[in-house]
Structure 1
Amino acid sequence: MSAPHWSILLAGTSLLAAAPALAQDPATSADDEVIVVTAQKRAQDLQDVPISVAVASAAQLREQNIISSVALGRIVPNLTVSDYGNPVFTIFTLRGVSQFDFSDHQESPVAVFTDGSYVPYLSAVGANLFDLERVEVLRGPQGTLFGRNATGGVVQLISARPTEQLSGYGQLSYGNYKALRAEGAISGPIGGGVLGRLSVVRDRHDGYFRNITTGTRKGDGDNVSARGQLYKEFAGGSDIGLIARYSRDTVSTIPNRAQPGYPDPVTGLYVNGSGPDFAAFCSAFFGTGVGAGATDCLSGDVAAGGRYTIQNDRDGGGLKRTSYGATLTANLKLSDDITLTSVTSYSHLDKAYRDEDSDGTSLDYLRFEQGAKARDVQQELRLTGKGDWGQWLLGAYYLNIHGRYDSGFSFYPTDPDFQALASNRWTLRTRSIAFFGQGEVRLAERLKLVGGLRYTWDRKTIDYRTACLGAGCGIFGLDNPDIVQGTGYNASVPGARPVRSTGNWDGKIQLSYEPSADALLYAGVSRGTKAGGFNAGTTAFYTVAQTRFDDEVLTDYEAGFKLSLVDRRLTINGSLFYYDYKGVQLFSQLGTSTLTFNSDARIYGAELEARARVTSTLDIGAAGALLDTRTDPVEVLNPLAGTVTLSRQALPNAPKRTLTLYGRKVWPIGEYRLTTQGDVKWLSATRLNLIDYPATRQPAYALANARISFGPADGPWEISAFVQNMFDKAYSVAAVPYQTTNGATMNIYAPPRLYGVSGRFVF
């Protein structure tokens, strides 16, 4: 890594600060600043856990207005979260590890858990965050304890628990774009020693994007979510808890914005621009002439307005998503040192996403839709114990997912001469069984050895049926028997292997050393795996042989440290890591053509986080991250020359450098207090596509946010005002190359500046 990279990181930490997610309430004494996490499936002080972990407390989530899982990327180093302007699917990228295939049956290598229950759907991890105790982000492979899809790490959402005394809160916020959010919770004893908690939220806003073709807006959202809990503790330390959850979303289709693009005449790589080379490309490739300011080669649209002005010919049916489920957790105390834990869960997803204007223009050229009906059952059993020599854990896990999916593209949907309606449906059944164990042995007074192993057996069965109707099917090659779109992929298709049964192992071995009560050093090797699967989705331009892809295996060589200084008023945590990434499941998209395939890659980087309480009323913080990713050579097509070359690529959504700064100041005013805080996150240039096309790069940018609040120092109410994306930075969260489809890059922009006021009371 070059010296300038390190200088940026060290400059940030010289501010003696904390990662924003770790700021504490100044009213809390230094001795009480113990952040409890369950990263190793037992309660521990964050500073005692030999894992790179970032934590956001309930207070921090509220004060930084982190109200959705997408916003977590603002506060966690080396984490980016994107949802393409719509929670139709949400993508977590942690240290460069991610899954960009947006087909509903795929699973992410950054595993998301809600109260101990695994969320297996990309369409369900984009959630409203409300009434949480904390969020934990575990970086690096966590497969030993969390399973075969935790290659990149784990995100744990942990709900606030029922209380022994009657308590609760209510909060109402209003902001620009008619944003209205109301949330609250009530908690306390129900009777017979049973505690209960009910939490609800309603969150809606108008669209951020103005559609000048239809005179309407896009980018709106409306969510209702609820969570109910029952909890009972028994004599002897055993307990049982039930959590039921429900969520319903209604959101417009993705607000695609077309930007003129073409293959560079020299390199063949896609670039943006509307000059002579663009006009020549439109003429040669599509046989069309374009005027000044054209947005693409086909529609005749002329660019108008800013980044939040779009020209979609249809508003679409949008996203309608309903999910619900329940988790039953029982802890049976077998002795003072041994506990049996059972976690049983069920969840259901019903999603319909219809009538998207995928070409981003006023021409009715491309229409996309997607749907899923899926359910899963999970059961985990864990036996944990401890002795003078250390800790141990043994467990077994079962997962069963049954899903029915559909997806399709319509080319020229209203033109009978070119109309091609590709409509694909498939079912996927996943069954997974795992056995795992982990132990921590005290080798010496301050030296510990941690070892763990997990073996997982997976069986996946797919039945993929494809279809195409209309005269355009032959024109666009959608009925070609040499590709899966023309044949499907099921037991009746020659060469197809629709049943995939494999086994793989995860593991770790690590040493941790405490040179003092305030310092922890650790180093080790972890192996994580992600199950292989099948390509299936909108259009299938790949062959039968390309339908299956294999497991990916990530071996992490990592070392880190954690320091707690000045009576815990200053903490500094850091880590260095190197990933040997075999069989990484890469995703490539060109227009409507998508493919997931295996390759190899390597990743290395560093994180440095600190937090400091300068005075009883002032917290400041900084966090920095460095990242370098590189794949083995992959195919790059030059559409002008018709040639294919091999080139190494960096992984998408993995900026090489990030820096986060944070500050919080409390101003006592008699019995009241005024609190001001702000944070800023800077990201270096980011690639938004596997192939490094200039057209799909997002230049470096910074986002600033601020909040001011007022209320009694220890009182029951608070009023506040907030602003996010303070300087109204327009930046892309996705850019899809459609140059050979209609002569454009499809850009999707993050929300503009958002601001509002909020009132909160507690009892």
Structure 2
Amino acid sequence: MAKTSTQSLRLFSAGSALALALGMAVPAIAQQAPQAQPQDSAQAADDTGGIKEIVVTAQFRSQKLQDTPLSITAIDANLLASRNQTDLSQIAAQAPNVVLNAQGGAYGSSLGASIRGIGQFDFNPAYEPGVGMYIDDVYYATLTGGIFDLLDLDRVEVLRGPQGTLTGRNSIGGAIKLFSKKPTDENSGTVEAVYGSRQRVDLRGSANFKLAEGLYGRVSGVYKRQNGYVDQLDYGCVYPNNPQGIGARPSSGQGCLIDKLGERNYAGVRASLRYNPNDAIDYIVAGDYTYEDRTNAAEVVTSVNPARVSSTYLCGRFCTFANFYAQGNTPPPGLSIPGPWGQVKDGYYMPNRVKFTGWGVSGNGTFKLGDNFNIQSITAYREYRQKWGTDDDFTPDLNVVGQGYNDLKFWFFSQELRFNGKIGDKIDFTLGGFYSDQRSTYFTRQDIRYIAPGLNFQFTGNDPVNADSKAVFGTVIARPVDGLTLTGGLRYTKEHKDYTFVRLNYDGSVSYFLGALNGVKAVYDGSKVDWRISADYRFSPQILAYVTVGTGFKGGGVTARPFDAPQALNGSFGPETVTAYEVGLKTDLFDRRLRVNISGFYNDYKDVQLPLISCASLGSNAPCGARQNAGDGKIKGVELEVQANPIDGLAFDGSVSYLDGEWSRIDPRVGNAVLLSDPIATPKWKWAFGVQYRAELGSAGSITPRFDMSYFGRNNNGRIAGGAPIDYAAAYTLANARLTWRNKGEDLSVSFEVQNLFDKYYNPYRFAAVQAFTGTIYSQVGRPREWALTVQKKF
């Protein structure tokens, strides 16, 4: 591993990968009028054949992507459609140094996210995300429910690097902002149907309509259904005479098949109303609803310790013997422990499904106060509920008991005000304030007898979690001389969080082994100031160079899973912070036929929130479940993005990124779970490219083949046990192919695609937290090769 210097930023050479441009347009919110040009191009060409400009709003105002001194991957609706990207987790394949992963079954329907090696993967409301998620400038405050369907979008902006002054807390790694299509003064619509592998059925549609002069509406909806691809098998049925004495379950009429993990069953609807009577008022009210009911993530046991469990529990690459069953346990004399899953002494099943329902409303209005000033107000409310079950050991072994049931309720309110203005032609500024209030209630029913077989390590929790945040901020953009732009930003944030622990037995009495936690409230209060200074210089219309220094932070919190009261009361921790140094170059060359953007960065990463091995410093001698600010490190990297339209019809896009870093301090309380010699961020290399060509067929329309490939380097999964070698997830390369025909009028298209073209088997995520107790590790399985046929009609 290369050593990091604190005196200088060393840039690394990176080879370029190419890729591109056109594809079938999904319902999307364009800055331009619809169908102004052929919709084949992922980044559609302008009238001269050059790469189309994308307008972004990362700095509180509309700016061309190539004029914005930030590392931004901007993906418009055409590129999303040409790659067939329909949910947020797919964006990471092409964005440099971005990791988005739909989490495993233990975390329900949540999205793990990191940018430039900094993020968060634990859904628990005691912790904060490390990448800010925004939908139409409204903050989405949790990882749960974050696998957004890319429904009716104009564009996605992936802002890499800390966005402390622009988007505030929890954007320490960066921010991902989704922008929906706004209602306009036209009557139009789109419908789309997909059929594919494993009974896949997708239906999508949108409609835009003019209600009256200055009043417009838009509705869109999506439904997705697909069978799973990992067989959940009945162990007692497959091995009827097994030495463990595990019997078969009652027949379901499917032989030994219990269920299929990894299925899809998702529906969503969105509606918006826009009031825009004149240039002085533009107000949009929007609402959305999401429903999901599916089997747990596709996971299989990938490693067993034969000294603890049978090697026959290794079912195979696409099958598992996990049964979500907990064997009964005789309670202490005189105690009956009833529950909705039956008496504990009789055993019970946990659900192998995830159910999510959520809705939200928002109002986003801009009001002009003369030619040079306006006020923007963004008000939002959101709530959701998610239920899911887990099998922590992922085996049918009745002597290894580790099951859980979770029911998470959440609501969130936020209000943001921005005052934007101009002073002459030289200065733009924004002043603003932000307030949010969120409430969670996390009910859980845990059976963790694997920790100490024979003891009644079972409890229920019903924990209320309250959090709020307040901030004031300002940004100034000044142009003192031609070509030079200076930007400065400042933001002050104050945050609060409290978490009350409920620890009861199944019958409602105080828990045997966690009773000291019952009623304990853990509290965190803190504040932080973020700043940013940048300078950019336009050497010519084709070349912009910039340098920027800024900060960001991930909010502080409380220990989510303490084992006694001292860990809860003394286990609160402060924010982790980063100071980022970045230089970059943005170019549009050869009459905008070639776009090359490159950036290099160096992050000074402080007070990293890490789990402890020993809680003695917190006054606890129990098994340690606390987290503290326990590490510092340095992260550096280089990112390159390329787009090219070398000749009419042919287009490329591509990216490559390099990431490296090392720890400079590890608190001794972390023990040997993390060592100074460990890499602080992975994967080291990521790259992607795509290419397509639109061939005109005269009156028969056009045909466009497209090919995409992406590489994800080996990823640090941590240690199976303290002091053991790091367990790396293997690197993998995926390829997708798509062929699209469009009629001459550009209102009908038919596409055939193959995802994971070479049928690569890979494991993007693994769960080994219980390996020391259960002897098993289970891993998520990437989706195998899939085909799909899509028909789209515009009207």
For residue 460 of structure 2, the aligned residue among 412, 419, 423 is: 423
Q: 2:611, 2:222 → 1: CA distance?
A: 35
Give the match's secondary structure for 1:12.
Answer: coil
1:250 maps to what in 2?
293
Change (3 A) 1:557 1:105: same
Q: CA deviation at 1:85?
A: 4.5
Q: 2:612, 2:96 → 1: CA distance?
A: 26
1:264 maps to what in 2?
none
Q: CA deviation at 1:180?
A: 0.8
1:138-176 per-position Cα deviation (integer Å, ceiling 9, x unaligned):
001112121111111110011111121100100000111
1:297-344 per-position Cα deviation (integer Å, ceiling 9, x unaligned):
235634333x21111123824111111011101111001010110000
Change (3 A) 1:612 1:741: same
CA contact (8 A) 2:718 2:726 kept: no
Letter in 2 for 1:180: V
Once the two structures are superposed, the pairs formed by residues 528-677 of structure 1 within 5 Å of their partners are 528-537=552-561, 543-544=567-568, 547-586=571-610, 595-598=626-629, 599-634=631-666, 646-651=675-680, 654-671=682-699, 672-677=701-706
Letter in 2 for 1:12: S
1:351 maps to what in 2?
386
Task: Find out whether 1:78 has 2:97 as its counterpart.
Answer: yes
1:156 maps to what in 2?
177
CA contact (8 A) 1:19 1:609 kept: no
Letter in 1 for 2:300: R
Q: CA deviation at 1:541?
A: 10
For residue 240 of structure 1, the aligned residue among 283, 291, 300 is: 283
1:525 maps to what in 2?
549
Q: CA deviation at 1:566?
A: 1.0
Segment of structure 1 superposing worse, 189-198 or 52-61: 189-198
Change (3 A) 1:693 1:700: farther
1:11 maps to what in 2?
15
2:195 maps to what in 1?
174
CA contact (8 A) 2:558 2:572 kept: yes
CA contact (8 A) 1:460 1:501 kept: yes
1:288 maps to what in 2?
none
CA contact (8 A) 1:530 1:552 kept: yes
Q: TM-score, with normalisation over the residues of structure 2?
A: 0.83
Q: 1:128, 1:234 → 2: CA distance?
A: 31
CA contact (8 A) 1:635 1:647 kept: no
Change (3 A) 1:615 1:688: same
CA contact (8 A) 1:620 1:664 kept: yes
Give the match's secondary structure for 1:394.
Answer: strand
Once the two structures are superposed, the pairs formed by residues 739-758 of structure 1 within 5 Å of their partners are 739-758=771-790
Q: CA deviation at 1:726?
A: 1.2
Task: Find out whether 1:462 has 2:499 as its counterpart.
Answer: yes
1:717 maps to what in 2?
748
CA contact (8 A) 1:634 1:649 kept: no
For residue 304 of structure 1, the aligned residue among 302, 315, 329 is: 315
Would you say how many aligned residue pairs link Structure 1 and Structure 2?
706
Task: Find out whether 1:369 has 2:405 as its counterpart.
Answer: yes
Give the match's secondary structure for 1:740.
Answer: helix
Change (3 A) 1:412 1:298: farther
Give the match's secondary structure for 1:30.
Answer: coil
Q: 1:302, 1:453 → 2: CA distance?
A: 55
1:69 maps to what in 2?
88
2:6 maps to what in 1?
none
1:559-608 per-position Cα deviation (integer Å, ceiling 9, x unaligned):
10100111111111011101111112235899x98653322221110101
Change (3 A) 1:714 1:7: farther
1:678 maps to what in 2?
707
Give the match's secondary structure for 2:145.
Answer: coil
CA contact (8 A) 1:588 1:689 kept: no
Q: 1:575, 1:253 → 2: CA distance?
A: 39
Letter in 2 for 1:649: D
CA contact (8 A) 1:89 1:124 kept: yes
Q: CA deviation at 1:759?
A: 0.3
Task: Find out whether 1:506 has 2:530 as its counterpart.
Answer: yes
Change (3 A) 1:235 1:633: closer
Q: 1:234, 1:8 → 2: CA distance?
A: 52
1:699 maps to what in 2?
730
Q: 1:523, 1:762 → 2: CA distance?
A: 44
Letter in 1 for 2:276: E
Letter in 1 for 2:524: R
Change (3 A) 1:205 1:229: same
CA contact (8 A) 2:662 2:676 kept: no
Give the match's secondary structure for 2:385.
Answer: strand
1:171-199 per-position Cα deviation (integer Å, ceiling 9, x unaligned):
00011111111000010101253100000
CA contact (8 A) 1:326 1:346 kept: yes
Q: 2:299, 2:460 → 1: CA distance?
A: 22
1:599-639 per-position Cα deviation (integer Å, ceiling 9, x unaligned):
2221110101111101111012321100013234547999x
Q: Percent identity?
A: 28
Task: Find out whether 1:54 has 2:73 as its counterpart.
Answer: yes
For residue 59 of structure 2, the aligned residue among 26, 37, 40 is: 40
CA contact (8 A) 2:135 2:177 kept: yes
Q: 2:368, 2:669 → 1: CA distance?
A: 61
CA contact (8 A) 2:581 2:602 kept: yes
Q: CA RMSD in A?
A: 3.1
CA contact (8 A) 1:89 1:102 kept: yes
CA contact (8 A) 1:655 1:683 kept: yes
Q: 2:198, 2:506 → 1: CA distance?
A: 41
Q: 1:57, 1:168 → 2: CA distance?
A: 18
CA contact (8 A) 2:438 2:467 kept: yes
Letter in 2 for 1:243: A
CA contact (8 A) 1:422 1:538 kept: no
Q: 2:219, 2:669 → 1: CA distance?
A: 54
Q: CA deviation at 1:761?
A: 0.5
Letter in 2 for 1:174: Y
CA contact (8 A) 2:502 2:518 kept: yes
1:456-478 per-position Cα deviation (integer Å, ceiling 9, x unaligned):
111222211223569xx99xxx9
2:482 maps to what in 1?
445
Segment of structure 1 superposing worse, 688-697 or 731-740: 688-697
Segment of structure 1 superposing worse, 128-137 or 628-637: 628-637
Q: 1:670, 1:645 → 2: CA distance?
A: 62
Letter in 2 for 1:658: K
Q: 2:685, 2:218 → 1: CA distance?
A: 42
Give the match's secondary structure for 2:303.
Answer: strand
Q: CA deviation at 1:549?
A: 1.5
Q: CA deviation at 1:68?
A: 0.9
Q: CA deviation at 1:359?
A: 1.1
Letter in 2 for 1:616: D
Q: 2:19, 2:300 → 1: CA distance?
A: 42
Once the two structures are superposed, the pairs formed by residues 108-123 of structure 1 within 5 Å of their partners are 108-123=129-144
1:272 maps to what in 2?
none
For residue 313 of structure 1, the aligned residue among 323, 335, 338 is: 323
Q: CA deviation at 1:695?
A: 6.9
For residue 407 of structure 1, the aligned residue among 444, 451, 462 is: 444
CA contact (8 A) 1:19 1:661 kept: no
Give the match's secondary structure for 2:92.
Answer: helix
CA contact (8 A) 1:177 1:206 kept: yes
Letter in 1 for 2:296: T
Change (3 A) 1:29 1:760: farther
Letter in 2 for 1:322: T
Letter in 1 for 2:761: A
